[in-house]
Amino acid sequence: MTPPEYELPRPVARSGRGSFSLVGALLLTCILGVADLAHAHGRPPSLQRIVRDPTDAAHVVAQATWGLASTVDGGASWQWSCAAAYDVDPRMEDPRIGFLPTGALYLTTFGGLYTTGDHCGFASDGDPSFGGYPIDLASDASGGLFVAINVAFETDELWYRDPSGAWALQGPVGTVEDLVDTLVGSPSDPTRLYTGGGSIRQPDLSRRIFIQRSSDAGRTFETTYFEPRGEEYAIHVLQVDPANPDVLWAVTRTFDGEAAQERLLRSVDGGATLTVQHELPQLLGFAIGTDGHVWAGSALGGLFRSSDGGETFERISETHVRCLHEHDGAMWICGDPGLDGHAIAVWNETLGAAEPLLELSEILQQRDCPTCTDVGVECPSWLPDIVLDLGLDPEEAGLMGPLPDPDAGSTGAPRDAGLPFECGGPPPPDTGCGCRIAPNEKSPTTWAGLILTAGALVQRRRRRRSTRPSRPSKP
């Protein structure tokens, strides 16, 4: 039987790279069909990527299906921020996140590139000349930031933000048929960059998967195409060896089903050739440890480790792996809360087991932010969704009303939280007693400042919504 023909779309959202792709949507459809739990956003809650603040080792941020989870004490306690704070629809979009050496956090979204320094207010960044939306990012040691831009019906672009904040177009990436999915830099060579992705299938062009290499900081790229196996649609570059810019690891992504094997690939010649080192279904976790061990894990279950540079892999745990991150010499494992009972575990070499570090029910508190910030304004209205998603105790989480009904179709949907009265929003409704004044109403002497704050928030939210491109449809 001839397999069905697919045209590779512009990514609907990003998976593996921190993204919720078409394949991820198909897999989750299958998973949700047998799930017992209700989820506000239509998919099981989980952490998908972990990054550490280079200026503060105790500050760790995880990209999650509902927004961000963060800790400022090395994992002892965690807080949440909702995706709406940076204008993301959590039902279908998972941003790629990354820190600059300065400690600024950047996020790629369909609405553009956003950044935060205090994790309470999120500001748009990027150049007005961006021809599309940011798909991935990579920082360099100098404090600069590379951003890959997907441009509909045109060649994708690479932009660079220098440490002063000035943006410049480095150049095109590949051809108009090449769809970039991932961007990874080399820790040992700031001029070396790699992208991975796949090409659109056309009547006169078979689908191709590729790796692109730049040796001049993204001004030019050399593309090496590879023949896909079955319905493989892209190569995602995972990591460049910390000591050797010519050694990189990548994985194939496929349309062949949730149990299809994805090939773990290694190149020792800068992407010119690839060898298959291992195969796993839904290979979402990968890391090169500081001790030289190579780690890989499957979301369907299985943590593997290689002590010989990736020549052979040993299965060391049955835990379900959604991401891997080395923190202070310990390997953190994003698990499947529904199957493993934890959101993050830490590998304990002495016990030879993954020890739970974080359960979703422990993320009780919203990130501690002033009321009149993006998190302070947007996130309180998402509390019922977060409580439902994370399985929190409603009373302990501060929820006074009932939980939303996931079958009603409204949970997890984008909404306008509206400005609170204390931030310059409309006064509370008249209850009939003439009492419109809220208990925490500010005195007239502070209204000028409140009006300015409210105006800035309204304008920012209007700007974000008016410039958001229409989302590509799934095939």
Residue-wise pLDDT tens digits, 323-349: 999 999 999 999 999 999 999 999 999
Q: What residues contact 303, with CB distance under 8 A and at least 6 apart?
A: 285, 295, 296, 297, 315, 316, 317, 318, 319, 321, 333, 347, 354
The model's pTM is 0.83
What pLDDT digit, counting tens, does each position of 133-188 carry? 999 999 999 999 999 999 988 999 999 999 999 999 999 999 999 999 999 999 99
Distance CA 113, CA 95 (A): 10
Of residues 380 and 262, more confidently modeled? 262
What pLDDT digit, counting tens, does each position of 119-131 carry? 999 999 999 999 8
Lowest mean pLDDT among 126-135, 151-160, 202-211, 233-242: 202-211
Residue 417 confidence (pLDDT): 73
Mean pLDDT of 25-43: 48
pLDDT at 368 over 50: yes
Residue 472 confidence (pLDDT): 35
Residue 15 confidence (pLDDT): 36
Tokens standing for 162? 């220098």
Helix (H) or strand (E) segment spanning residue 234: strand 232-240
String of b and e for 287-297 (b: at least 16 CB within 10 Å)?
bbbeeebbbbb
Q: What residues contact 385, with CB distance under 8 A and at least 6 apart?
A: 40, 41, 66, 82, 404, 411, 412
Of residues 168 and 417, more confidently modeled? 168
Ramachandran assignment for 418, one of left (phi > 0), alpha (psi -120 to 50 degrees), beta (any other): left
Work out the pLDDT band at 431, boundaries 50, 70, 90.
Answer: low
> Strands 314-317 and 344-348, how do they pair?
unpaired
pLDDT at 205 over 80: no
* % of the chain beyond a pLDDT of 90: 68
Residue 40 confidence (pLDDT): 74
Distance CA 267, CA 196 (A): 13
Mean pLDDT of 277-299: 97
Cα diameter, the chain: 77
- Total H helices, total E strands in the chain: 5, 29
Residue 274 confidence (pLDDT): 97
Tokens standing for 205? 């062009």
Work out the pLDDT band at 295, boundaries 50, 70, 90.
Answer: very high
Work out the pLDDT band at 203, boundaries 50, 70, 90.
Answer: low
Lowest mean pLDDT among 134-138, 210-214, 380-384, 438-442: 438-442
* % of the chain beyond a pLDDT of 70: 79
Mean pLDDT of 389-417: 78
Strand partners for 146: 138, 160
Tokens standing for 335? 């698990």
The closest alpha carbon to 98, from 110, 116, 112, 83, belongs to 116
3-state secondary structure of 146: strand
| 58 neighbors 74 (Cβ within 8 angstroms) | yes
Helix (H) or strand (E) segment spanning residue 276: strand 275-281
Of residues 36 and 308, more confidently modeled? 308
Residue 207 confidence (pLDDT): 84
Q: What is the chain's mean pLDDT, rounded?
A: 84
Of residues 410 and 321, more confidently modeled? 321
Residue 118 confidence (pLDDT): 96
pLDDT at 7 over 70: no
String of b and e for 192-201 (b: at least 16 CB within 10 Å)?
bbbbbbbbbb
